Amino acid sequence: MPQRPPLDRERLPRHVAIIMDGNGRWAQQRGLSRIEGHKRGKDSVRAVVETARETGIEYLSLYAFSTENWNRARSEVDALMRLLRRYLRTELRNKMMRHGIRLLAVGDVSRLPPVLQRDLAADIEATKNNTGMTVILAVSYGARADIARATRAIAHECAAGRLDPARIDETVLSRYLSPAGIPDPDLLIRTSGEMRVSNFYLWQIAYSEIYVTETLWPDFREHQFRQALAEYQRRERRFGRVIASVDRERLRAAR
């Protein structure tokens, strides 16, 4: 078993977002159907959620299904919906309550099958008072669509006289985006080696550290997750500022 990368619990990211990519290629490399790749990817979700909770991550966003994914073959979409429902009913629900995990969802959930909408709403309601880690499932989610929806909501508020257009700034717009009230991701992880963000949290990742790994999602487990966290802790987060030499030395000493 590979040695765990050392982590400084005082410098963990509060919010980690993951683009879970590579299920299809993982299956293709093994002569399996894409559905088998998605099934195996479920084990990686379990491992990452458990590792995040044990490590002390406060917020974990998982990009499970994008608005563009609706364009895939109907058989694959239906299988993904069944897998998501089974995961919610047989795995997440019990573990979330046992470990005090709160569940949220972002995206146009109205497009999901009605039974999945009900299960998702029930889990969100059941866990709303949990005070441990928050898991955010991005399902039927697209950042451009979310920004457009937020813009329409702001326009309605202005037309109704409840919001002064002159007072609209980044803070106001952020309140209308999903997920409201959640800090922006400190770390964005993408598996499978692809160098794109795929319409995910376009507003929120403005200053996120980005970590791309060649590992396909079904092979991404505790060790790979901890490697990403260790790499995050080696970064200097400037947020557009120039770090003074004394501060840089302090950061290096902390590592």
Give the CATH number of the domain where residue 40 resides. Answer: 3.40.1180.10
Could you tell me if residue 171 is inside a domain?
A: no
Q: Residue 101's CB: how many other CB atoms inside 10 A?
A: 20
Could you tell me if residue 75 is inside a domain?
A: yes
Reading the chain (255 residues) residue by residue, the pLDDT tens digits are 567 778 999 999 999 999 999 999 999 999 999 999 999 999 999 999 999 999 999 999 999 999 999 999 999 999 999 999 988 887 767 788 899 999 999 999 999 999 999 999 999 999 999 999 999 999 999 999 999 999 999 999 999 999 999 999 999 999 999 999 999 999 999 999 999 999 999 999 999 999 999 999 999 999 999 999 999 999 988 877 765 544 555 545 544
Handedness of CA 61, 135, 112, 149 (dihedral sign): negative
Verify whether residue 69 is a known catalytic residue. Answer: yes
Q: Tell me if 243 sits within 8 A of 236, measured CB to CB.
A: yes
Could you tell me if residue 31 is inside a domain?
A: yes
Identify the residue whose tokens are 């795995």. Answer: 91
Choose, from 23, 43, 69, 71, the residue flagged as catalytic. 69
The domain total for the chain is 1
The model's pTM is 0.91
d(CA 255, CA 253): 5
Q: Burial-class residue 113 by CB neighbours within 10 Å (0-12, 13-18, 19+).
A: middle
Q: Tell me if 215 sits within 8 A of 26, measured CB to CB.
A: no
Choose, from 21, 119, 123, 186, the residue flagged as catalytic. 21
Could you tell me if residue 160 is inside a domain?
A: no
Could you tell me if residue 78 is inside a domain?
A: yes
Domain that holds residue 116: 9-144+183-254
Could you tell me if residue 177 is inside a domain?
A: no
Could you tell me if residue 167 is inside a domain?
A: no
Helices (H), the chain: 23-29, 34-55, 74-87, 93-99, 114-126, 143-159, 170-176, 222-233, 245-254
Could you tell me if residue 173 is inside a domain?
A: no
